[in-house]
Amino acid sequence: MSVDRTLHHFPLDPFSREVRLVLGEKRLRFTEVAERYWEQPETLAALNPSGLPPVLVELRPGERLVVCESRAILEYLDERYADPALLSNHDVAERVEARRLLHWFDRKFDYEVNSLVLHEKMEKRLLGLGAPDLTALRAGRQALRAHLTHLEGLLNNRDWLAGARMSLADIAGGAHLSVVDYFGEVPWEDFPATRLWYSKMKSRPCFRPLLNDRYPGLQPASHYDDLDF
């Protein structure tokens, strides 16, 4: 059955990237609409009351489905398009661990790292709020090292973040770290297991569109799209 699929997203939004990675991993074609969400576009607010990307719209004969917020979209896609399974076929302990890590990235990493590092280096530029505050940036970098230490501990004992199989946890980790990496903020050299895992993620076809992202006025770090970084 033919599905007309549209993703409303912002290229450097980690939550939008989670959805793009899952769509890529499942080889689902979609039309992109890039949203400058900080300008509060009415079209976006009409789809999602929070006014934020990502929003996925799927049209089928007799059905118009609007799916708002990254976690809802991820769970929806994995239930509806089970191949490859990123959660739905995993055993209970891996599902539970993957969802712990989804929460970790989407709340804890977002609060402690993105809200400092990305706010200072990206959002202030987009919003015209002036130069980064170095104290805030330093606090964000310190939090990032604590997060990487946690991931390194996991990846010293596992092939993928939640266990033996790739899952939504890897999608979330790849999405969040890739944006921080765009700004050259990930100290890969100190976290070899995490670096190896990220190089596996980066080599997947689903990652290619993310590595091609270039936002006007915000150049990525030189190694950003280098598979052998």
Which residues make up the interface to a copy of itself (CB under 8 A)?
48-50, 65-72, 75-76, 79-80, 92-93, 95-96, 99-100, 102-104, 106-108, 150
CB 64 to a copy of itself: min, Å: 10
Q: What whole-number distance in Å separates Cα of residue 74 and Cα of residue 23?
A: 9
Q: Which of 25, 5, 2, 1 is nearest to 66 (CA)?
A: 5
Task: Name the CA dihedral angle for 111, 49, 24, 227, rounded to a multiple of 10 degrees.
Answer: -30
Indicate left, alpha or beta for 57 from its phi (over 0: left) and psi (-120 to 50: alpha).
Answer: beta
| Beta carbon nearer to a copy of itself, 127 or 227 | 127
Residue 56 backbone dihedrals phi, psi, to 5 degrees: -110, 130
| Beta carbon nearer to a copy of itself, 106 or 213 | 106
The pairing of strands 4-9 and 55-60 is antiparallel
CB 67 to a copy of itself: min, Å: 5
| Beta carbon nearer to a copy of itself, 16 or 70 | 70
CB 113 to a copy of itself: min, Å: 14
Position 209, amino acid: P
CB 63 to a copy of itself: min, Å: 9
Indicate left, alpha or beta for 217 from its phi (over 0: left) and psi (-120 to 50: alpha).
Answer: left
| Beta carbon nearer to a copy of itself, 71 or 124 | 71
| Beta carbon nearer to a copy of itself, 91 or 226 | 91
